[in-house]
Structure 1
Amino acid sequence: MFSDLPAAPDRVGDLWDISMARRTGTMLDRPHRVAYVYRTPDTSTFRYRVANTVDALNHADGDIGAAWYCDDELRALLRIVPELDVIVVARYPWNAALRELVQTAQRHGVPLVFDCDDLVFDVRFAEIVMSSLGKDVDVNAEWDVWFAYMGRLRASLDVCRGATTTNPVLAHQLASYVEDAPAIVPNVMNREQQAYSRELLDAKVAGGWRRDDQVTIGYFSGTPSHVRDFAVAGLSLARLLDEDDGVSVRIVGYLDDLGPLEPHRDRVEFQKFMHYVDLQRSIAEVEVNIAPLSHTAFNICKSDLKFFEAAAVGTWTVASHTPSLDHAIDDGVTGRLAKAHEWDGALREAVALARDTRAYADHALAAAEVAHSRWSWDAVAEPVARALAPYLGRRTR
């Protein structure tokens, strides 16, 4: 494990600790105005698809101003709809407040664009989504929840003219629902996250990639539903721990079902779900980051963030194949892609790489260079501006 890394910066506030008045003023200061609506600030979809995008647009050298609005702000947003060029409905399920906003937008000729980062807008995939998330399909209440949620998202999608999403697989799924071809807007780091990631990377370089004798493999669970995904690599991890006393595991987040790793619980470190900037340090401390995914229609739509957030801090990743991860990782150069039967070999290779300081540094730096360029905070401004270009300058007075 790497040590002596700089502590996370003191945070005065997050991107979502900004008043509505200030957000609106920033947006209205520019010739073109885009309002994003999302249910409530959170550390997953809101951060990547809304807060990071809005912040990047407002700091780019362009003429688009953006702001985000949540549940209790939608009716206040009605007053400035005539000043908008476009409204982005970011994974917002249909309700009365959204209906009022849509009706107002339609009266003023303001187009709506749907943004979604998961395959959750078509009830035909409800059982696949439930199964992928480890939900019990024999429980009627689960069907009630997921049909309601996905049906409401479909209702929101139905009033939108265009769509933005994270990858071509989801874009293809969305294409039949919107008039205009869906556009791809990638997930990226935000300014604070990237700056601290660079600081962590620089500390590794300055310290000569100094680490202790233990190789730590990290699994960073974003939701309580990742038991099935972790199981893809679980048996391979257990066999590795059986063979190699110099390997340990760090699990961050909600996962507490170790499955085949249970006999090695004393070599597994658990850390609670943490702020995303603090998480960058936790990822930086381990030598190997793993991103196993079960092969489902839901998971193949996942984005590449599990790779680039680790690469940005100089940590090697072993990941399952998905279209996004296949496109993100130069296999064997910036990370390792593993099919289900390849995890034993991929993990052994990763441990051997970690013990070869020079080789590890070369590979980690190659991955970091790509991450800080391709997924930098400002890399999203151009694709989102291109995606929204057809809707700008059309607002009516």
Structure 2
Amino acid sequence: MIVAEMSIPQCKKYRVDQKAELFGKIGVATKIIDWTHLDEVRTLLQTYPVVIFYRVPATPEVILIIQEARRLGVHTFWEVDDLVFDPDGYLSNKNLDRLDPGMRAGVIAGMKLYRDALVLCDEGIGSTPILAKWMTETTGRPAHVIENALDDETLETAHRIRDANKRYTKSQEDVIIVYGSGTKTHDIDFLSASEAIYNVLSKRPNVRLRIIGELNIEPRFDDLANRIERLPFTTFDGYLEKVANADISIAPLEQTVFNDAKSNIKFLEASILGLPSVCSPVDAFKSAIVDGETGFLAASPDEWEHKLLALVDDQALRAEMAGKALESVFRAYSPDYIAQQQLGPLIRRFNNRKSNVTRILFANVYFAPQSFGGATIVAEEMAQRLAQKENVEVYVFTSWSNDGAPDYGVVRYEAKGATVFAVKVPVIRTRLMDVEDEAMGQVFEEVLSAIKPDVVQLHSIQTLGVALGSVCKAAGIPYAITLHDAWWLCERQFMVTGEGKYCFQTRIDPDVCARCVLDKSFNKQRTAIVLRGLFQADGLISPSHFFKQLHLYNGLRDEQIFVNKNGIKLPSAEHKRIPSKPIRFGYVGGSTPIKGYELVRQAFSALPECGIELVLVDNTLNHGYSSIDANGMNANNPVHIVPAYTQDTIDEFFSGIDVLLFPSQWKESFGLTVREALIRDVWVIATDAGGAVEDVVPGENGDVIPISNDSVHLRKAMERIIENGNFLKNYSNPYKDRIRTFDEQADELLLYLMSLIKREPAVVVDADR
């Protein structure tokens, strides 16, 4: 990424646009950003390994950006094309004395800011060896030379102009000397050749002087005004045409440290237009010109006059010298040459991706430290385990909330062994944006381009949207979707109606859904969008056989869906459930109807005082507020409300209960909590909730009750436990070996994802069929 000052057209062309073009010639994608757009810079910084700050001052905001780059491990270069960062060298330019006092004071004040920016960055880039040398002396760190060069636009324009000039017959007697000033700061430079130019004009009536841009010349030139042409500075193409229609180009510079640091661009431009040049012998011109062969170097008024007259009087010499100059700059300053010889060594060292490493990118709406929901636990556990495997790198794309951040702003950090790219989700958004958000897709495209993963796994992507899959498809990167819930089939996500009842559909009927959703036309639009994303995926991952069957009912094929049952964290070796005198029932679903909270409240409150307890997990306590009121339950037995457990405190929670209540009101894809209880010898009472009860053996490690909004089924199951509770004292689940661990899940998942990398692209199926 190039973060640049772009208000000076010629600087933008040669130091910014040209550099991006040259990077492209060696296969390096480049983004150019105006340095004043710092919010955008901060976001893009998260996905770029290298940033070049061209002529950017160290304002407080820029300092924060450079510090952010350091936090991210982004390598920073500070670049410039004159000695603006060094007061001693810059003030040797006497042209500054002719500036307006206010402007001059501003230039001087800015020097410290440029110097500070240079010092803050890792390395420097200068347009000349002298600049690079002074940068290193300032910072004690490396500085590199990337010269102003030719580019495709300049070469094409020059070729067109040369071709046009072949058809143009100019008077053989007239000789035009051209000087391109450009800015207000060249008056002193022109003085180094003005005496010779005046003498040449006086001695040769056929010579004219063409001045392009702003320049103040001595009053004595008034006598020759009829042979002095003043032209305003114009577009780059126009400038080259005006130079090309002359015969001799001059580049006088005062002999100062400041000018020694300047580039030889005027010589390059003249040479590709077919003009010979006379230049002052500053460092960059000396390195490019073989005096007397490819151009003339003139250090004194006598040398200027002698060498100008030689060219004025000898058309053949002009042609010969121009031809050699053209050949030399084509050879030493061609785009390909500069790209390979100067940019290549600078940038290739950052291409440190190992050839034998597989990169996996997860996408999930939440990720640590913003962890919420079962799908997030699975994504985090898989990321952590896969990242620990040899030759695997894991990246994560997720959302984040920060009131001070711009919409779609990105922050990169490390969590669970993975590199995480978190995107600020706009607070104000439409319903459709939760399904398909093109702006989110564009951010994902930036991340995808930065990482270049081998495979992508989409977990729960509500809010992120299905555009993520389209971006993968466009990039030719295989992607799989994990079917954590029914979001891909049901607008309400869990196939639960507005009345809190499971709809019990298998083959989804749009007419049935139309009676359930708020807006049937929106639901139709949404269904078309998500099914297109579902059917074009290279693979689908189901956490249970039940959920695979549900999607087979809805048009997917058996070979499209791979069952990768979710794992759980094993209890520690020291873990042991300690039975207590009062039987302790536990519930972890929160106060939502879909998890059956109301059934738990009704069933427990209906039980008489009988020496039991209820432990309720309120997952909002970790966010600073409570969503459950124990007193409001009107229970006859004690109720304890505790915050949600983590993977680090899970053993402690389950050692404190005897029976898990899991009265889910929908057919779940898996049921992580059920497995966490079963493997810790906790009896489970669960509804017939699809994938959630695939590891429950009724009567041996739990009870399965019907899905119903009538709490009587749950109450009766609890009463049976209360009546026969002695068995819990020494209870041990005999089927623990059936329960998958996270490690086993990760091993199987990796093999599956690796198979997608090697597989032929998926055939896109018409979802409407």
TM-score normalised to structure 2 length: 0.44
Greater Cα shift, 68-77 or 233-242: 68-77
1:368 alignment partner in structure 2: 326
In structure 2, relative to structure 1, the CA distance for the partners of 1:170 and 1:310 (3 Å cut) is same
For the pair 1:109 / 2:70, whether they are aligned, the reply is no
| 1:245 equivalent among 182, 202, 205 | 205
Distance 1:322 1:166 in 2: 14
1:3 alignment partner in structure 2: none
Distance 1:308 1:222 in 2: 16
For the pair 1:124 / 2:88, whether they are aligned, the reply is yes
Offset, 1:374 = 2.1
Query: Is the 1:74–1:97 contact (alpha carbons within 8 Å) kept by the matching residues of 2?
Result: yes
Query: Is the 2:279–2:285 contact (alpha carbons within 8 Å) kept by the matching residues of 1?
Result: yes
Offset, 1:390 = 3.8
Q: SS of the counterpart of 1:164?
A: strand
- Counterparts of 1:75-90 in structure 2, within 5 Å, are 75-90=39-54
Offset, 1:207 = 4.7
Query: Is the 1:132–1:296 contact (alpha carbons within 8 Å) kept by the matching residues of 2?
Result: no
Offset, 1:203 = 4.2
Q: Percent same amino acid at aligned positions?
A: 25
- Counterparts of 1:1-397 in structure 2, within 5 Å, are 35-58=1-24, 60=25, 62-129=26-93, 131-135=94-98, 139=101, 141=102, 144-178=105-139, 180-204=141-165, 206-207=166-167, 211-341=171-301, 342-353=303-314, 356=315, 358-382=316-340, 383-393=342-352, 397=419
Distance 1:124 1:235 in 2: 28
2:318 counterpart letter in structure 1: Y
Q: SS of the counterpart of 1:115?
A: strand
Query: Is the 1:234–1:261 contact (alpha carbons within 8 Å) kept by the matching residues of 2?
Result: no
Query: Is the 2:276–2:319 contact (alpha carbons within 8 Å) kept by the matching residues of 1?
Result: no
1:304 counterpart letter in structure 2: N
Distance 1:325 1:318 in 2: 10
Aligned residue pair count: 354
Offset, 1:96 = 3.2
In structure 2, relative to structure 1, the CA distance for the partners of 1:189 and 1:259 (3 Å cut) is farther
Distance 2:37 2:28 in 1: 21
> Higher helix proportion, which one?
1
Once the two structures are superposed, residues 139-163 of structure 1 have per-residue CA deviations (whole angstroms, 9 ceiling, x without a partner) of: 5x45631332111101111111111
In structure 2, relative to structure 1, the CA distance for the partners of 1:93 and 1:321 (3 Å cut) is same
Distance 2:44 2:55 in 1: 22
Once the two structures are superposed, residues 261-309 of structure 1 have per-residue CA deviations (whole angstroms, 9 ceiling, x without a partner) of: 2211111011110111221111111111110111111111111101010
2:30 counterpart letter in structure 1: A
Greater Cα shift, 209-218 or 288-297: 209-218
Q: SS of the counterpart of 2:147?
A: coil
Query: Is the 1:215–1:248 contact (alpha carbons within 8 Å) kept by the matching residues of 2?
Result: yes
Query: Is the 1:194–1:372 contact (alpha carbons within 8 Å) kept by the matching residues of 2?
Result: no
Greater Cα radius of gyration, structure 1 or 2: 2
Distance 1:151 1:385 in 2: 31
Query: Is the 1:160–1:178 contact (alpha carbons within 8 Å) kept by the matching residues of 2?
Result: no
In structure 2, relative to structure 1, the CA distance for the partners of 1:373 and 1:200 (3 Å cut) is farther
Q: Structure 2: which 5+ runs fail to align? A: 354-411, 414-418, 420-769
CA RMSD of aligned residues (A): 2.3
Q: Structure 1: which 5+ runs fail to align? A: 1-34
Offset, 1:244 = 1.3
Considering Cα pairs closer than 8 Å and 6+ residues apart, tell me whether 1 or 2 has the greater RCO: 1
1:49 counterpart letter in structure 2: R
Query: Is the 2:57–2:114 contact (alpha carbons within 8 Å) kept by the matching residues of 1?
Result: yes
Q: SS of the counterpart of 1:333?
A: coil
1:166 counterpart letter in structure 2: S
Query: Is the 1:253–1:273 contact (alpha carbons within 8 Å) kept by the matching residues of 2?
Result: yes
Greater Cα shift, 150-159 or 371-380: 371-380
